[in-house]
Amino acid sequence: MAFLLVTPLGVMRETEVESAVLPSALGEMEILPGHRPLLALLVPGELRLRRGEQPESLVIDRGFVYVSQERIVVTVEQAITVREVDLSAVELAQKRAEEALRAAAEERASLDPEEIKRLEAKIRYQLAQKAAKNRYG
């Protein structure tokens, strides 16, 4: 079935796949050919694609997946292949986001709920990158 991965920067991946495993808000889900139409919320985590003997893993940020019987369309804020993950950069970004979150919590008067959500999502994306990199090396 056709697979399309889109970020704000454009199409990141367009290929044929046998299956896709996605991190949804309700847990991990696998999409196989002939799947019923579906629209679901995605959370930061690992996206695994299977194409014959060539599995591929990417780390995705939050977004959505649309599934029809012949196509999977994933739209996310950002995505990166596991081999491109730079653990030192990820740890630095995670540390900065955690510090900003702590600072925001200390300044309760100026606490912006949307900024808190953004920082928490950024931390989840960084953790997903670290987990996938540690899993595959």
Splitting the chain (137 residues) into consecutive groups of 10 residues, what average pLDDT does each group show? Answer: 96 95 95 94 95 89 94 96 85 84 71 76 84 79
DSSP letter for 135, please: H
Judge whether 123 and 101 are in contact, CB under 8 Å: yes
Contacts of 84 (CB under 8 A, 6+ apart): none
3-class DSSP state of 20: strand
Q: Integer distance in angstroms from the first to the last C-alpha of the chain?
A: 29
Cβ-count burial of 116 within 10 angstroms (0-12 exposed, 13-18 middle, 19+ buried)? middle
* Cα angle: 110, vertex 112, 113; to 5 degrees: 145
pLDDT on residue 61 = 94
pLDDT on residue 6 = 97
Could you tell me the pTM of the whole model? Answer: 0.81
CA neighbor of 72 nearest in space, from 19, 129, 124: 19
CA distance 19 to 82: 18
